[in-house]
Amino acid sequence: MRDRRVDALLLAVAVVWGSSYLAAKVLVDVAGALPVLTLRYAVAALALGAVVALTRARVGRDELRWGLVLGLSQAAVLLLETFGLAGTTATNAGLLISTTILLTPAVEGLVTRSWLPPSFFAAALVAVVGIGLLVGGGGWRVPSGGDLLVLAAALVRAAHVTAIGRVTRRTPLDLRGLTLVQLAVGAGVGLLLSPGASLALARTATPAQWAQIAYLALGCSVFAFLAQSWAVRRTSAARASLLLGTEPLWAVVCGLALAGDALGVAGLAGAVLLLGATFAGQRIETRAGAAVPAPRADPAVPPAHLVRARSGWQDRPRE
């Protein structure tokens, strides 16, 4: 019974993450990327701040220092991802961001000079073919600016995940406090870059828009943080990673069913190749004994909680 409960909770996190691309795109198309990010960060920071206060989590010098550094890199990820959403479909974004699972061990290999077997890079090559079909719209074409921004977000996220893994292995940090600082930094960056538009959105947002902002902030950040903090300690890293790795599937389901996105035959083939290669690469990496990151890195959800050097996050939430 407990295993089913843990599995259901991790699957719920994946569903929330997968649906977030559509929710964010709807908001961004109307209100702009920076104001949406600013309010999302601010609401998540306020909510997590209450959790930190109630649980007496530590926000010391190390949490402040590393939270500032990682908060800036996380803000860069979400800026690229959110601006990318404005130029592509929610379905494409959800699939393209899943390449983080392949990019992270490659980046980590460059840092540690510890290489994965050739089969992993074969899977990565298949993923590249899948991306070409996915973004080709039924034929080969240059990816859109939005597609490229989302791919750039995946690459920066891979570096961010690698940095989190190395920092948390070397420095004892309270990840609730660390995550709170990251969220506060993200809100500050957004407010600095678009003070007028962010405040205007806060004043004029409709109840429906506030509901979407709350869903992104509370569901994709705070809920994911609390749910994973509880669940990852009660299951294996491989099982948690597998369940969380279904996120792009839910992004596709939401995009096709709710947004009217269309893949076409070539796009569908590309999606299958991309997902298949991603899961294959993930399994190869697991067997090789490497770190298995979560596919998403919400600021309230730093993915390093699945790094095997630690038995799981002290508390994790990547957006």
User: Is 212 part of a structural domain of the chain?
Assistant: yes
Q: What is the count of structural domains for the chain?
A: 1
Tracing tokens 């490229």 back to the chain, one arrives at 148
Q: Name which of 129-133, 156-160, 170-174, 303-307 the model is least confident about.
A: 303-307
Residue 46 domain-assigned (yes or no) = yes
Q: Please classify residue 289 by burial: count the beta carbons closer than 10 Å to its beta carbon, then call 0-12 exposed, 13-18 middle and 19+ buried.
A: exposed
- Whole-prediction pTM value? 0.77
Residue 240 lies in a domain: yes
> 100: closest CA among 296, 262, 304?
296
290: pLDDT strictly greater than 60: no
* pLDDT on residue 205: 94
pLDDT of 119? 87
For residues 305 and 70, the model is more confident at 70
- Give how far Cα 235 sits from Cα of 36, 95, 229, 238, Å: 34, 26, 11, 8
- Is 49 or 266 the better-scoring residue by pLDDT? 49
The answer as to whether 268 is a domain residue is: no
- In this predicted structure, the answer to whether residue 111 has a pLDDT above a threshold of 90 is no
Residue 279 lies in a domain: no
- What is the pLDDT averaged over residues 135-144? 64
Residue 116 lies in a domain: no
Res. 45: pLDDT tops 90: yes
Contact (Cβ atoms closer than 8 angstroms) between residue 269 and residue 37:
no
Q: What residues make up the domain containing 70?
A: 2-94+143-259+292-306
Q: Tell me whether residue 120 is in a domain.
A: no
pLDDT at 276: 85
- For the cut 70, the answer to whether the pLDDT of residue 263 exceeds it is yes
Rounded to an integer, the average pLDDT of 274-303 is 61
Which residue reads 């870059």 in tokens? 193
d(CA 217, CA 288): 35
pLDDT of residue 308: 30
Is 137 inside any structural domain? no
